[in-house]
Structure 1
């Protein structure tokens, strides 16, 4: 069932993790073949399903360890109709892959959710075109019609919400939001920005959020930034403004490289996980309402652990030694960025 659709727990002040860079992890660290970055293609066979299951379990274990919430994002960034057709999927089989992706997350939730670790299931919607370059800009109506079917599948598969990842122009973001609204699904819009903190179209992030809100009666539950390094957008956030209250999540890249440079790279730039965690801590100190924390390209569970160590008041002796808490009273502390990982 859609457990949290009508009361998303990440809208509280509690921390919710996401995963890291699904596709870059599977390609560069696991050695898997993902045509056109289509992770959903793994669901065709048992070995691929098990690879995705292992991947999501890694982050479920991490959320349990740190006693925080978790948003599981389905492996469907490339599972819309144009990409499915390009990869040889019929509409019926593509729909089944979307349903299977959500069913996998339900099984993870059933296995790992606790009172301290609430797990939210999100149907991931990707851009119709390139994730970095808005070469063919749709109208709002075209975007709404294009994305409606996939969102309806997520609704019927009992996802809690949909999240549009790597949006690079506002018309598509508005269309997705309207499609989700018409289907009764909560929606999150995650924009990507270039090294100057602006959308690939050149539009300032603040204007993009304002335009989507104006066109949808503030339809998105919240906004996120993904697929850019924290240094690419820190200055934009530092400028201030009420629009910042609409941002709740960050899924940054490990690399400081631009999108163009990443496109040309045939090796993985993992950055520095400890520095990455420190940058998230600085963002959290400025914007405590940034409570959805995860990674994008080049990040993996090491980066998410570093975020936890840098940003969370963890239960020190309990996590490090596995011993019972003395008198059931935890001692909270803020570990430094170079503090060693819990075993």
Structure 2
């Protein structure tokens, strides 16, 4: 029985911490743990062997931070040595049944457009390690401690494209169930199921007690085996060493509780030792193993939102499409991306759940435009997207770069179409629209369309694509040429729902083509279609008639609890004609909140004709940033939108500076930012830098892997009153503590704010920090408190 077949039939146990144990065995502050594969082979073998002797089924190679960003010359040697040490430990422990996981951690970089790392570059960085590790003899790939769903996707694609080993992944969430970049348990599970990983889970960041709510949520929505690898509680510093507050016996008891939640694999992360793992295995082995259960949900997702198809009807906004839209066509020709993004934002405001994205024009490079529009949209809004194209290259480009599980429009019952589209769905994941037509054309009867739907389902299954990932388009044909066409469509909707148990979709407005006052027909047909089982409708959410139909249908079918949504939409409000965002002048504050740089520049230029530059800064720019920051803290705005808003504000600031004609803009104070020695993960630091600079602080960015002496010398030389330190890995927090000690001794008036995934308020206090910042906005607030 192979490894994947064993999941859900028997317990599989992973090993525990590596870096924290190596620290106890002499790993120095700032020293890279992966180098011990070359310099301390016996220690690595001994640690792997200890975990095997504790009863582990899977041990991880000492390669968490091994990538070409950190190791430019000896990456191959390090990864090969790590795999060989695990093999030797397996031989010494006489555990031929044990499996070796090639351990892959994050790059420490934020991917574009939020950061500076290109998606394909990230894929190649991970691919290098995968190729080396697979060739060296690893049995599976374990991608772990991922805090960004986009980077997680890059790592999964690298593994899938460069080896045929099982691929498993564990993610890191905060106490609210959010990843660093805003991903939720449900949205990341949807994406990773679509990418067809073999198991998904959670690790690091929390102890087992704190992790339980996340585990429950993951088990509830995942059709994959679930892995749980928590820390040994929460960290703190004792006599210069990082220790954790959960001993082996307590860890084992808590893990037994987690084992009863329906997971399939258990292990540990930071602070856990062979003793923790041995106790866990003894406590959990007798717990009955929960089989993996398929949830059969039809779900599409963005990086932070999921839309489930099959409950209340889903609205798919149709406005990002050049058909019949001369201004949109010109925007595509002019590469006017902000016009397109504005249309997306308006549809989001009007109630769309998913946005259709069609950028096809004969005279443009459709794959390149699809890339620009998809990446642009997902950087400023959180709605899932439907990639709508007949160009296979454009479809693949959009799917590959999409941060989530998209909808795809479309595949037909033609053999050539299915042979083109289904391999893409199998590789990247997605919910695909199946057109009820084939080589013979569009059937005139519902029976003919139902038979094509069956053919699409059956063919998809041969590619491993389940029925829940197919939504059938029953095809709305204009009644102006065939008065019975609406009846055939409605009959098809009913039969797909009642006979096949499937979901359906329509481009509703097609029904009225060629008729006057088309909204009258469209809105009434929309209501009839929903009554007959329509799951999704591609409509214009800016149309008041269509939205009235939708809201009324929900209220009348008891899908709008106490008519709350209907009242919110129409209670005491007068209807107004919708205005496209592309046609309206967007105020400066809204431009910044939306993250639209060109709009912000235009609005700032216009405001300079009415207000003094500093009035604009103080009365419009800063308040807009404050509103975005507040939304971020409340969980209503996610990191991509926060960063894009900051970029829009930065663009507006540049216009203001130019208008000041050489006047010096007053800086509020100097702040040092640095990722501490031994740590190359600078995501958090770079996010903080962007926001601080927007709030007019002078940031001295010392970069990553910065020795304590450099930070102290800079603070003294430039008389800096606030120092911000970042660390991702537990093994580098000792460098953070040493930096704080040296600052206290040599620059005692400097305040220190710290942040990073491994830190807690208590841990920050124990190493002498003045403030623990849970996110970038918290750092801004502390800067305002301490230096104005």
Q: Give SS of 1:246's match.
A: coil
Alpha-carbon deviations, 1:54-108, whole Å to 9, x = none? Answer: 1111111111xxxxx51010000111111214xxxx1xx2211101110111122
Counterpart contact for 2:76–2:132, Cα < 8 Å: yes
Deviations 1:239-288 (A, max 9, x none): 4765334242111011235xxx88xx85312423222211111111121x
Q: 2: distance between equivalents of 1:70 and 1:177?
A: 22
- Tell me, yes or no, if structure 1 residue 243 matches structure 2 residue 216: no
Residue number in structure 2 paired with 1:146: 125
CA contact (8 A) 2:234 2:245 kept: no
Contact in 2 for aligned 1:140/1:174 (Cα 8 Å): no
User: Among 187, 192, 200, which residue is 2:167 paired with?
Assistant: 187
| Deviation per residue, 1:89-133 (Å, 9 max, x gap) | x1xx2211101110111122233345xx720111111110079xx
CA contact (8 A) 1:197 1:232 kept: no
2:286 aligns with 313
Greater relative CO, 1 or 2 (CA 8 Å, sep 6+): 1
CA separation in 2, counterparts of 1:239 and 1:44?
Answer: 41
8 Å contact from structure 1 (residues 10, 292) kept in 2: no
Deviation at 1:235, TM superposition (A): 1.8
Is the contact between residue 10 and residue 291 of structure 1 (CA under 8 Å) also seen in structure 2?
Answer: no
Name the stretch that deviates more: 247-256 or 18-27: 247-256
Q: Does 1:199 align with 2:194?
A: no
- Once structures 1 and 2 are overlaid, which stretch shifts more, 6-15 or 96-105? 6-15
Distance 1:111 1:271 in 2: 30
2:44 aligned to 32, 49, 52, which one?
52
Select which of 182, 197, 209 maps to 1:231: 209
1:285 aligns with 2:260: yes
Query: 1:322: which partner in 2?
Result: none
Greater Cα radius of gyration, structure 1 or 2: 2
CA distance in 2, matches of 1:190, 1:171: 14
- State the match for 2:402 in structure 1: none
TM-score w.r.t. length of structure 2: 0.33
Helix, strand or coil for the counterpart of 2:57? strand
Written as runs of structure 1 = structure 2, the 5 A alignment for 1:128-143 is 128-129=107-108, 136=115, 138=117, 140-143=119-122
Q: Distance in 2 between matches of 1:123 and 1:140?
A: 21
CA–CA distance in structure 2, aligned partners of residues 200 and 58 of structure 1: 33
- Helix, strand or coil: the match of 2:50? helix
| Equivalent residue, structure 1, for 2:91 | 110
Give the structure 1 partner of residue 681 of structure 2: none
Residue 77 of structure 2 corresponds to residue 99 of structure 1: no
CA distance in 2, matches of 1:241, 1:21: 24
- Equivalent residues of 2:198, 2:225 under 8 A apart: no
Aligned partners of 2:189 and 2:222 also within 8 Å: no
| Residue in 2 that maps onto 1:77 | 64
How far apart, in 2, do the equivalents of 1:15 and 1:240 lie? Answer: 18
1:33 has 2:28 as partner: yes
Question: Separation in 2 of the partners of 1:130 and 1:58?
Answer: 33
Alpha-carbon distance in structure 1 between the residues aligned to 2:282 and 2:108: 36
Say whether the 8 Å CA contact 1:170–1:212 is kept in structure 2.
Answer: no
Does the CA-based 8 Å contact 2:58-2:100 persist in structure 1? yes
| Equivalent in the alignment of 1:16 | 12
**Contact 1:226–1:251 (8 Å) recurs in 2:** yes
SS at match of 1:200: coil
Output one character per residue of 1:283-313: Cα deviation in whole Å (capped at 9) or x when no partner: 11121xx232211111112211221232123
TM-score calculated relative to the size of structure 1: 0.74
1:50–1:148: structure 2 CA closer, same or farther, 3 Å change rule?
same
- Measured in 1, the distance between the counterparts of 2:13 and 2:219 equals 25
Relative to structure 1, the CA distance from residue 304 to residue 121 in structure 2 (aligned partners, 3 Å threshold; closer, same or farther) is: same
CA displacement, residues 191-225 of structure 1 (integer Å, 9 cap, x when unaligned): 011122321223212211212333x2x2x111121
